[in-house]
Every structure is written in C-alpha cells, then in structure tokens.
Chains A and B, each alone.
Chain A
Amino acid sequence: MTDTVLAPAKTRVQTQPRVGARRFRRWWKNPWRKPRFLEAITWGYLAWSIMPVLIAILLSFNRGRSRSTWQGFSLRWWTGDPFDSLWHDPELHSALLQSLRLSGMTMLIAVPLGVLFAIGIDRWRGRGSGTANFVMLLSFVIPEIILGIAIFLVLRFLLTFVELGTTAQVLGLVSYQLSYPVIIVRARLLSIGREYEEAAMDLGASPTRALRRVLLPLLYPAIFASFAIVFADSIDDFVTVRYLSGPSSSEPLSVKIYNQARGDPTPAVNAAATAMLISAIIAIVIGVLLYRWLARGQRAGVREFAAQV
C-alpha cells in the first residue's frame, strides 16, 4: 500500500503498470476467479484424446488408399472393394467372428468365476486372503507381455495337451481378465455389507438360499457391469492373444489389425478397428442400460456405472 501513497507525485504513464499489477494481484487473490488456464488444458486434453480417433474413423470411409488424406466418401473399405474391404476379405471377416467368439467365451467363463472368487475372498478370514488380494491386483499393473509369455510357456511345455489356438486364447484371456469381475463385485459386496444376508438367515433361509435369493440379486448390477467390461476389454486385447494364437485362422481381429498396421495398411485397417470399437461400445451401452434397469430405485446413472469401473 505504501507505493500508492508515493504514486501521485509521478506521471500518469508510470502509474499505469502499477494499476495493472494491482488488478492482477486482486485477480490472483480472488478465490472465485475462473481457472481459465486449467480449463484450457482440460479441453485441450479432451480434444487431443478424442479427435485422432474420430479422424481415423472418418478416414475408414476414404475413397482413396491413403490413411492420412481425405479423398472423398465411399464405402470401399467397408463393403465395396471385392478383395480388401472388411466385408469381403475372408481373413478379416473370419477374424471378426473369432474376436466375437473369444470375447464371448471369455466373458461367460471369467465373470461367473470372478463372482465366486469375490464372494470367496470376501468370506475368507485369515491367512491367505491377503495373498489372494495381491494376485487379483497384480494383473492391473504387471506388463501384459510377462503374463502372455508366461502362459505361452506353460502351455507349450507343461500343459501340452492344450493346443495353441482358441482354447489357449480363452484360457489366457480368462486368467488375464478375471480380476475385473473380482474387484468390481468385491467393491459392491463391501458396500452391501452382511446385514441383508443375516436377516434372510434369521428369517429361516439356508445359507445357500440366502446367497441365491438375497445376495445375488443385489449383486446383479456389478455382475452386468463386469460382463460389459470383460467383453469390451478382451475384444481389444492383442498381446496375450497373439502369443497364444495357433494357425493364422485363429487370430482375432485385434491381432490382424496389429499385424497389418505394422506392414502396409489400407483404410481397411481403420474400418476393422472401427468395427471393433463399435462392438465394444455396444457391449458397454447394453451394460449401462442393464445396470440402470437393475439398479433402479438406487442411485444409478452413468456416473455410478463409471464408479464401478
């Protein structure tokens, strides 16, 4: 404040920056000022994260061979081209089916197993439960390449009766994806608590009956969220699956895309990736809708579904 007292003696031109500085200081100290800078970063980040994908989807409708320049709209790489399009290339076509088959099977095996594990770990008091917890968290952080190679070597040298191909791929995917349902269902179990089940048993239900009639319905939202997540995630997987692929007919779309993207890709790769994206999105949307419907009456929305993730 002392400099304001001195200020009048000087010329107007010199006070100008001080006014600016004071205004800046007041702006800076105002706790309710708008965080323009952070806002810009956030929107910039969101644009950066979403735009490339949108452009890639757009380019799958390209008329020409280029994946970098727009040359007009056509369905050439989806259905038109008799050799290279997603629909007519027999390899891509069967790979898409293989992808759907793999993730469908993985989903149907991993989720029920995961639910049982989650209930098991939740009830398991004493030694070992900590270790079980460790293992479940492990597959989130361990590089997938380590898991993939480990399973590959085990199947190749120890469990030699499992041939590389669909069975091996499903085995690998299940062990990789198992922790999603376990963690999601366990979080839900913790928030439900044991009271409902105990109440059911007080009213005369046997433990199995209490589990089936009371606990399981309460878990449905978490279970369906797991279904959607496991499906969407295993359709995208290409690391584990690639090591466990047998003949090239057992390679799913993700692996084909990966191989082609390293070689000489055409927009058909973009089309294939878009097809994969669409299947994943369908799975998620069905998951959200089922979740909303099952969790009606409770607080349910996209945000709670997201919280499950």
Chain B
Amino acid sequence: MLWLAVLFVLPFYVILSVALGTVHPIFLSPLPVWQPWYWSTEHVRDAVGKIVGPDAFLQPVFLRTFLYVAAATTLCIVIGYAVAYYVARYGGKRRTLFLVLLIAPFWISYLMRMVAWQGLLQGDGYVNRLLTATHVLGEPYNWLQGRPITVILALVYGYIPYMILPLYGQLDRIGQNLLEAGRDLGASPLRTFFRVTLPLSKQAILAGTVIVALPMFGDYYTNDLVGSPKTSMIGNIIDDAVNSTGQGPEAAVFVLILMLILLVPLLYYLRSTAKAMGSA
C-alpha cells in the first residue's frame, strides 16, 4: 500500500499544491503551497476564465480537442473493425504474417512514424506528387500548415494499432459456429453481423475506444510535428505552459482539468478490465 501512496496520492497532492500555490515574485518559478488552509484559487480562476466565460480565448482549443478526438476515434473504429474482422475471419494461412504486420507499428516509434509523414506531406512530397499526377488535386496542397485533416489522420495513424489488437482478440474468439447458427436460422449475412458479431464484440470496441481516445486527449506531439498553432489541442496548452516561465501553476491547473475530463471513462475502463481479468 505504501508504494501505492507514493506513486499516486503524492503526485496528485503536489499538482494540487502547485495549482493552488503561488509564483515566486522575481524568478517566476512556481512555489507550491503545502498547507491547504493557505491555498488560493487565483490561478484556478485565471485558467478556468480562459476556458469558459466572456474572454475565453482557449475555449476553441478545448472544443477542437473534443472534435479531433471524436473524429479520429470514429475513423479508428471503422477502419480498425474492418481490418480486425478480416484478419480474424479470413486470415487463414497468412494470419501470422498479418499479425506481425499489425504489431509492427508498436515497435516503430511514434516519432519515426510522424517524421515519415513530415517528409511525405511536404510541398514537394510524394503525397502531393501522387495526388497531382492523378489529377485529384490541381495544385500541391500545403498539408503541414495547420490542417485539421492532417492532424486527425495523423492521430488515426498513430493510435489505430491500439484499436485493432483488442478488436482482433475479441473477434478471433467468436466461434464460426455461432455465425453459422445465425445463418442456418435464416438471418442474412448483414443481419448475422448486426445481431451476433457486433453485440459480441461490443466490449472490445469500448475498450479500444478508451485505450485510443484517452491518450489522444493528452497528445501534443502529433500536433507539434504535423500541425501548427492553428490546430493546437489541450496537450499543447499544457506543454507550452510547462515550458514557459511563470505559468507553472497554470500548467498544473490544466493537468487537473484534463484529469477531471478523463476521470469517468478512465474509471469505467479500469473497472471493466479488472473484472475481465478477475474472471479470466
């Protein structure tokens, strides 16, 4: 229990103390206030005022984050489900190959994969050349200058492996006989899919969604590498605040806000996974 406390409660208390603390008057470094009775809510009010209220210039960032995460997660589910379904049901002899290829992105660092896209998406990069050569685009598109579509697709690219594997695991476990039973009882393939396969894989979809969506909320690097301030997300505000002087408490407040946002899905995921592991 001790290491639990050290690992968990303590950091939380430190973040709280920094968030509710003050800033050194000269060096502008954050000064945490340890005693709860001296806590001031000044910085909290400041930071919250930037998100809601009359002059909430950070509000678009929060809305944007929700939008991007929702779009990217949806795409992850759609593409991921198709791929996982195909490999689980029709993988056949090639299944090992498929699995190796599906797991490969885990061992290729996120940085490497974003660096790769940086090259491809440049003005004279291969994406533009392909699209102009096939006349999809009339002229090269500057993908890297804060385009929402670039950031969303990059997020999908970065996180989709984490969606496919749980889905595959679950779909692989659904017996062929269940599907055949559905067909024998007169259901069309579509109906079998919606009445048998989909309900049986609901759990995995939810788990995958949480595994993919939660880290996306804290993502700042994708945006730093292929986006611009025009597409910045919550993670970017936190990262900027941590790296600039005088904004220590603000960073801590944003971290707390992010934690609050993520608390419900987080608890849901932990509970269901712990249950699944307990019964396994």
Contacts and interface: CB of A to CB of B under 8 A. Distances in A.
B113 to A, nearest CB: 6
A150 B14 contact: yes
Given A258-B111, A274-B112, 19 more contacts: A38-B90, A42-B98, A56-B112, A68-B124, A135-B7, A137-B273, A143-B214, A145-B238, A150-B15, A153-B11, A154-B11, A154-B14, A236-B111, A265-B115, A277-B112, A280-B109, A302-B99, A303-B99, A306-B103
Nearest to A259: B224
Contacts of B104: 49-50
A153 B19 CA distance: 11
B126 A144 contact: no
Contact of A52 (B95, B120, B183, B215): B120
A76 interface: no
A39 B146 CA distance: 33
B13 to A, nearest CB: 9
Contacts of A158: 10, 14
Interface in A35-75: 35, 38-39, 41-42, 45-46, 48-50, 52-53, 55-56, 59, 66-69
A143 B111 contact: no
B136 interface: no
A303 B242 CA distance: 42
Contacts of A6: none
Given A236-B109, A270-B115, A276-B112, A68 B103 contact: no
A277 B109 contact: yes
Given A53-B113, A153-B18, A45 B215 contact: no
Interface string B196-226: 0000000000000011001101111100110
A131 B242 CA distance: 30
Interface in A115-147: 128, 130-135, 137-138, 140-146
Contacts, number: 211
A12 interface: no
Contacts of B161: 49
A223 interface: no
B235 A145 contact: yes
A238 interface: yes
A29 interface: yes
Interface residues of B, number: 85
Nearest to A37: B82
A309 interface: yes
Contact of B116 (A55, A132, A153, A157): A55
Nearest to A54: B116
A39 B90 contact: yes
B188 interface: yes
B14 A52 contact: no
A262 B8 contact: no
A219 to B, nearest CB: 18
A146 B259 contact: yes
Given A145-B218, A153-B252, A270-B119, A41 B83 contact: yes
Given A42-B86, A138-B270, A143-B218, A236 B110 contact: yes
Nearest to A117: B3
Nearest to B188: A29
**Which A-B residue pairs are the 9 nearest by beta carbons?**
A143-B218, A236-B109, A56-B116, A150-B11, A52-B116, A68-B125, A38-B86, A68-B122, A67-B119
B86 A143 contact: no
A29 B118 CA distance: 45
Contacts of A258: 111, 221, 224-225
Interface string A258-272: 100110010001100
A46 B157 CA distance: 11
A257 interface: yes
Contacts of A29: 188-189
Interface in B109-148: 109-120, 122-126
Given A68-B119, A146-B259, A190-B280, A273 B112 contact: yes
A154 B219 CA distance: 22
A281 B107 contact: yes
Most chain B beta-carbon neighbours within 10 Å: one of A28, A154, A232, A284: A154
Contacts of B107: 232, 277, 280-281, 284
B278 to A, nearest CB: 8
Most chain A beta-carbon neighbours within 10 Å: one of B110, B112, B235, B242: B112
Contacts of A284: 107
A273 B15 contact: no
B71 interface: no
A59 B10 CA distance: 46
B251 interface: yes
Given A38-B86, A154-B14, A273-B111, A262 B239 contact: no
A239 interface: yes
Nearest to A235: B109
Interface in B231-272: 235, 238-239, 242, 251-252, 255, 258-259, 262, 266, 269-270
A236 B242 CA distance: 22
